[in-house]
Copies of this chain bind each other. A is one copy, B any other.
Amino acid sequence: MNGWVALVTVLSLIVYVATLVQVGRGRARYGVAAPAMTGHPEFERLVRVQANTLEGLVIYLPCLWLFALYAEPRLAAALGLVWIVGRVVYARAYAKDPATRSTGFGIQALATVALLIGALIGVILNLAHHGG
């Protein structure tokens, strides 16, 4: 794997780890005992940030890797940085006010869609030229 893509992969995982750490801290701060995942609106926001980041991560990472393999690895890494920025903006905004979450969400969604479409085109062109 291209080194920049590997680096962006690890950094993206660290962003996700941070959302998990926030849920753990929120459990203590807002007094929500496991296994409950509800009970305090600010805790529920942290849970949703984590869950939404997870939902996005499982799409984004394979697209990042396939874009790097079949299209352009350095552009893949650059789009990965955009994803990271979008996810951080999203997490901070959502924790303050769920109504402001769409900017960060939009940034990371654009990066994911670009990686997905680029990977799809790269894979199809590769199949057309070289077969399976």
**B-facing mask of A50-65, CB < 8 A → 1, else 0?**
1000110111011100
Residues of chain B within 8 A of A48, CB atoms compared: 34-35, 37
What is the interface size of chain A, counting residues whose CB is below 8 A from a CB of the partner?
51
- Which residue of A34, A44, A61, A63 has the most chain B CB atoms within 10 A of its CB atom? A34
Q: Is A116 interfacial (CB-CB < 8 Å)? A: yes
Instruction: Find A35's partner among B2, B58, B98, B123 (CB 8 Å cutoff).
Output: B98
Q: Which residue of chain B is the closest to A5 with respect to CB atoms? A: B132
Q: Is A91 interfacial (CB-CB < 8 Å)? A: no
Residues of chain B within 8 A of A61, CB atoms compared: 58, 62
A63 to B131, CA, bound (A): 23
